[in-house]
Amino acid sequence: SQQGEEDPQALSIQEGENATMNCSYKTSINNLQWYRQNSGRGLVHLILIRSNEREKHSGRLRVTLDTSKKSSSLLITASRAADTASYFCATDAGSGNTGKLIFGQGTTLQVKP
């Protein structure tokens, strides 16, 4: 079964608003990553947070990690129409250095101009 579950499955907001997506996972992890997928394209890495970190920022992205609750959130501030995409969390499921990631089901974000 898949490691991650994401919430909500779909999100629609106006340009300029903030978008928050949540991810829960089942097993212990070494790190958690977020990826973005534009329609019809491959996934692109956004940000990685290690299990000993609680918060990380990259531009308009803010990621939090709560290992006690096995959950993470991705916040996109001041959203733009170009942020319209699907967003996936992924963990190594504690598998270590294998290049093997387990993905959540994704959140589809629509940002209306």
Binding residues vs other proteins (CB under 8 A): 2, 4, 30-31, 33, 35, 40-45, 48, 50, 88, 90, 92, 96-106
Nearer to other proteins, 90 or 109 (CB): 90
**Cα four-point dihedral sign 104, 111, 83, 85:** positive
CA distance 87 to 38: 9
Question: Which of 102/109 has CB closer to other proteins?
Answer: 102
Question: Which residue has tokens 């319209």?
Answer: 84
CB of 78 to other proteins, least distance (A): 25
Residues 66, 56 contacting (CB under 8 angstroms): no
Please, which residue, 34 or 84, has the CB nearer to other proteins? 34
- Do the bridges between strand 71-76 and strand 19-25 make them parallel or antiparallel, or are there none, so unpaired? antiparallel
- With vertex at residue 11, the alpha carbon angle to CA 8 and CA 14, rounded to the nearest 5 degrees, is 150
Residue 89 C-beta: closest distance to other proteins, Å: 9
By C-beta, is 35 or 111 nearer to other proteins? Answer: 35
Cβ 43 to other proteins shortest distance, Å? 5
